[in-house]
Chain A
């Protein structure tokens, strides 16, 4: 180990000691699991995105029940993605089923990460 490395480590240790708060020793600083777990994201499957598109086309064609069934297939692929709940909420809104629309939007809020999508879900949830 050369002198520069030793000096660097010594400097870091000194800095750490300087930063250490005088007083009681640290103990259990648990990082709560909930916020940490939210950070984990899986890449979205092309099949999921295609089913969402297909459902949107069915919705546009007025085939609401068919669109809901297609969105539910998508939901089984990525049940932890907010897009599908937004789609389902919009489908139920179009069908005039406000209760179901609100419930789907609220459910989507448990998973939304994108600010625009969260806003859209909040709007449908009536919040």
Chain B
């Protein structure tokens, strides 16, 4: 009986042993297969645009100083190391850092920028005149794993020895002797804690802490502890001590920056002190080492006194252990915390980063984005973004007392299709529902230009002065309902010239024209203009039926603004790998989808919107010499207020409305137009100024009846036509061109 029991127990033991060995083998495989992968895992870093300075570039001294602050430069009286600038009136001296741009490596140097009357007038590099200066771009965020880990990798050889020795003195004094865990270490930590009267050291070795961070969950169970011990021994067996220490230095958690977790001493140095790890003072090193024990508890921004106390305790231990001299320790203890300013812009642009991530995920796996250390160079312009954010918030405060009104805007560069700024809601710096990409709303009158463009493509039937009926319309729908649109003012004009109908955003002529052309034709035009969202092929399409986000409409208006050239909306310019080698460029690309002459006619009408149409009331908000073209849009009962318009350099599409789709009293111009105009007034630099295409001719037309007339005749207006399509019917008024009078008018202004 006893023998039988012994055999059963032996079998159970052997089975358990076998299972245990299998488990150890599994843990061993986990360590050996993934340690290197984890060691070098780096999230992608996303940069904004590089600021290019050249003679004539628009720039104020304060704005340049602001740009330098954003990229982490410090304002000093006289420069003594890279990453600093000094400002003396209109002259700014900068000691630039080394930076690897996608196309070249830029060696850090002392450069000078002289500004006058809002422009760059001279540039120098090491005292010699240069014509172009490119500043390193600002980091605007990263693509982190779900837990938000961010880090900068550093090699052990580049870490100050005082930091590594000091770290071992506090965290694991027997690191170089033990094999993963240390009974003596636990005892020593206990004694150290008793001696200082506080808990200054833990019992876990650095190897154990690394294993815990890499492979285990924070739960405190016996199984997890056994697993940690076994894996620590296995890790020591597989890896060199130096590799373990280096991995630890790069892995350790040192606090939180919003959704971003700060890992490793190199990133910690930049985050807390805005200083490279190699340049940290002893007092800063001691603070970081002290924070390992409790990054939240000893967070110097939140708990400065507690952090300082901890730092000084660490410095005491360093002095006791001979890492530093007592004098050095005493001097370091007298130092302030020396933290960087808290006004960091990183992670403040969640809506734009959301768009970057979505574009990245079209081509990269999440795993690659969070581990390969990619560097993503985007077109993001922090200066334009901040103007957009401020304008959005200030304008909403003016026009909305409920504080519930929301807004979304997309800003692109007309000549490249690059998205340079974006807001996804009223709380511009909070991540969440990104209305610019995900709030799908009816487009209202923003579709009308597509209807008129489709008509104008057939110059034998339609010109800008073709009379379109402005009469009641009833369309029977397939389900038997009758659709009867109305003008905003509920009146009918009988007939109206095509361009006037667009300028005044009349619904009936647009609906009639759309009906005559057919919804398929309007849909096709929208697609040619760049609309990728589903478009319902229904009679009410000319009035914007369907669901579209601001980014969808920005794609359409980008093509219009660019003169008929469809350009993919891009955020990313270049992607390089962790070594800085180019992986992917996103070059400038155009596809002409609309004839330039036809688009010229549409531009004429959209310029008219701002001169005398629905956008004219915005004129007091805009500089008098800025020529812009735009279209307003309002959906039923003011549920959606849209404004899409462009200057020569910028296109902005803005939406304003409530999340719960309630009605408002805002039209396109009184809502979104207010944000649009205030923003464009500050950021647009160039008027709409395309050369007149071939095949276009201007004629004097009587604006009341669309007939040819003479210059100086009643209601005479110069209107463009595709060659040969101008009306032949004429008014009785004869031409009054008179060179003598013209000359006198020019000279004397009479």
Residues of A that sit less than 8 Å from B by CB: 12, 15-16, 19-21, 23-35, 37-38, 40, 42-43, 45-48, 50-51, 65-66, 68-70, 72-73, 75-77, 79-80, 88, 99-100, 103-104, 106-107, 109-113
Contacts and interface: CB of A to CB of B under 8 A. Distances in A.
Contacts of A66: 103
Nearest to B739: A19
Given A24-B733, A47-B131, A72-B587, A32 B718 contact: yes
Interface stretch (B25-33, B54-62, B655-663): B54-62
A46 B131 CA distance: 6
The interface size bin for chain B is: 35 or more
Interface in B677-721: 686-693, 698, 703, 711-720
Contacts of A20: 741
A69 B586 CA distance: 10
Contacts of A29: 711-712, 716-717
Given A75-B416, A79-B413, A109-B596, A15 B744 contact: yes
B512 interface: no
A88 B52 contact: no
Interface string B304-320: 00000000000000000
Contact of B56 (A33, A45, A68, A88): A45
Interface of B: 52, 54-57, 102-103, 131-132, 413-416, 562-563, 565, 585, 587-592, 596, 600, 603-604, 607, 611, 627, 648-649, 686-693, 698, 703, 711-720, 733-734, 736, 738, 740-741, 744, 748, 750
B733 A23 contact: yes
Interface of chain B, main secondary structure = loop
A110 B587 contact: no
Nearest to B740: A19
Nearest to B649: A79
Contacts of A111: 690-691
B57 A45 contact: yes
Contacts of A19: 738, 740-741, 744
Given A32-B720, A80-B686, A68 B55 contact: no
Given A24-B713, A27-B716, A28-B717, A79 B54 contact: no
Contacts of B714: 24-27
A72 B588 contact: yes
A19 B131 CA distance: 54
Nearest to B715: A27
A38 B748 contact: no
A45 B55 contact: yes
Given A88-B588, A109-B693, A43 B56 contact: yes
Nearest to A48: B54
5 contacts: A20-B741, A47-B54, A73-B52, A77-B52, A110-B563
